[in-house]
């Protein structure tokens, strides 16, 4: 066999092997998040509208850089929706073989953060407080998974999430609120921080 033919054969073998590994990585990602995941794009209008709504909320909370980073990742195909992600997870970053790296958002959490956070009625907590808690926690969860995507282990990822909540506490957005509305958001921040600390304690415990 001529050297040229050998080179072509080697290139084809590498390409086939690479494609096979990529398919394996895709399958591993799917298994990790429960299956039926899909890329977040314009072919899913309800999910896209919800995502843009989350981004608008994050901008309103005073972090346009986070909102833009999430949109850039979505355009690059790194934000996916996972309908079967476990009820205890808002989102998850999954990296398989450094070939398939995606942030998966639980569909219910994206479409209706309140329903995801409060799976059963809580008449003891005012609805305004529940809503604030839900929006804050969804944004914080995305910040957490973004930290993982940037290489952070679990501890630093929780640190980044909690730092984001503390940043919100000091934000002009919170300072602009008054009365019961401000109380609701302050309670939401405190609750999100408490939940993050408990989750980390469970991880290391």
Of all helices (H) and strands (E), which one includes residue 136? Answer: helix 127-149
How far apart are the C-alpha atoms of 204 and 147, rounded to whole Å?
18
How far apart are the C-alpha atoms of 135 and 188, rounded to whole Å?
9
Retrieve residue 196's tokens: 């993050």
How far apart are the C-alpha atoms of 188 and 133, rounded to whole Å?
4
How far apart are the C-alpha atoms of 166 and 200, rounded to whole Å?
17
For residue 7, the enclosing domain spans 3-204
**Whole-structure pTM over 0.85, yes or no?**
yes
Of all helices (H) and strands (E), which one includes residue 57? Answer: helix 45-60
Q: Provide the domain count of the chain.
A: 1
Per-residue pLDDT of the chain (205 residues; tens, 9 = 90+): 555 544 444 334 434 444 466 677 677 888 889 999 999 999 999 999 999 999 999 999 999 999 999 999 999 999 999 999 999 999 999 998 778 899 999 999 999 999 999 989 899 999 999 999 999 999 999 999 999 999 999 999 999 999 999 999 999 999 999 999 999 999 999 999 999 999 999 887 6
Retrieve residue 43's tokens: 């072919």
């Amino acid at each position: 066999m001529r050297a040229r033919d050998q080179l072509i054969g080697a290139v084809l073998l590498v390409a086939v092997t690479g494609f096979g590994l990529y398919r394996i990585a895709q399958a591993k990602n799917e298994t990790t998040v429960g299956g039926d995941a899909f890329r977040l794009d314009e072919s899913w209008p309800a999910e896209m509208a919800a995502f843009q709504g989350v981004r608008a909320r994050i901008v309103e909370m005073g972090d346009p850089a986070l909102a833009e980073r999430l949109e850039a990742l979505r355009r690059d195909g790194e934000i996916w929706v996972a309908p079967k992600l476990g009820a205890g997870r808002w989102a998850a970053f999954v990296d398989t073989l450094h070939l398939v790296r995606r942030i998966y958002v639980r569909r219910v959490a994206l479409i209706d953060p309140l329903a995801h956070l409060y799976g059963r009625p809580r008449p003891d907590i005012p609805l305004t407080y529940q809503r604030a808690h839900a929006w804050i926690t969804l944004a914080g969860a995305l910040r957490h998974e973004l930290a993982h995507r940037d290489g952070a282990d679990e501890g630093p990822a929780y640190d980044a999430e909690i730092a984001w909540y503390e940043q919100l506490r000091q934000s002009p957005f919170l300072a602009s609120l008054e009365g019961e509305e401000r109380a609701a958001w302050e309670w939401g921040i405190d609750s999100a921080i408490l939940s993050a600390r408990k989750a980390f304690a469970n991880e290391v415990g």
